[in-house]
Homo-oligomer: A and B are copies of this chain.
Amino acid sequence: MNAYKIIEIKKSVFENNDREADRIRETLKNNKTFLLNLMSSPGSGKTTTLKATIAQLKDDFNIGVMEADIDGDVDARKIAQTGVKSIQLHTGGMCHLDAGMTEQGLTELGAHELDLVVLENVGNLVCPAEFDTGASKNAMILSVPEGDDKPLKYPLMFTVCDAVLINKIDTKSVFDFDDDAVVQRIKKLNPKAEIFFISAKTGEGVNIWCEWLKNQIIEWNK
C-alpha cells in the first residue's frame, strides 16, 4: 500500500468562489488549522522547499500536505518520505485549485486534526493567482533561473502573495539575476510582501522563512 492516497478531485459546484473560500477559512480558524497555499512555476522547487520546511517545523506542528498536479505522484512520494501525512490531488487537467476543490482535499486529508496544512498548487504563475483557495496565507516561489523580470509579466501572482521566496540562490553564478531589481518590482506590486532569499537545496535562508511561517501559525491560533 502507498503511504499516500491519490484523489481525483472534481470541478467545483459553487457559484461564488470567494464566499466559499471565506467559509473554508472560518472553519480552519475554528479548528486551529493553518492552511498555506504554495504556488510557483513548474520546476521552481516547491517540493524541495516544502521538504526543507517540514524538516524544521515538524517537531512543533502536526503537518499535512496536499500535492496538486495534473497527473503523476512524483511529489506525494517525495513528501511521504518526510513522514508527514500527504495526499496527491489530481485536478483532471484543471490548471488551478479553487475553494471547493481545496475543500475536497482538506476533507480527505483530515485537516481538522492538523496544525499546518500545505497545499502545493499546480505549477502555474497565472491561473492559481485568480482563485482564493481559502488559505490562511498565500506564498509563492520564484527561482533564480526564471529571471528577475517575472513580476513584470505575472503581476497578479506577486500581488496576491503574502510571502515570496526567491529560491535556488546557490545557482546565481550561472545566471544574471538582480536581487535589488526583483525586490523593487515585487514591492511596487505588493508593498507588504515578505521576501526571503533561500536555497532549498543547501538550506541557506530556510530558517528565516520558517521562523516567519511559525509566527504566522501562532498568530492564526490566537
Contacts and interface: CB of A to CB of B under 8 A. Distances in A.
B150 A70 contact: no
A125 B126 contact: no
Nearest to A69: B153
A123 B171 CA distance: 22
Interface residues of A, number: 36
B125 A124 contact: yes
Most chain B CB atoms below 10 A, which of A43, A72, A130, A152: A43
Contact of A71 (B43, B145, B147, B152): B152
A140 to B, nearest CB: 11
B95 A127 contact: yes
A69 B152 CA distance: 10
A147 to B, nearest CB: 5
A99 to B, nearest CB: 19
B146 A43 contact: yes
A156 B70 contact: yes
Interface in A25-76: 41-44, 69-72, 74-75
Contacts of A175: 171
Interface in A154-169: 154-156, 168
A101 to B, nearest CB: 15
A179 interface: no
11 contacts: A41-B41, A41-B123, A42-B153, A43-B145, A75-B153, A93-B126, A95-B124, A123-B153, A145-B168, A171-B174, A171-B175
Given A41-B123, A42-B154, 5 more contacts: A42-B125, A42-B150, A69-B153, A71-B153, A95-B127
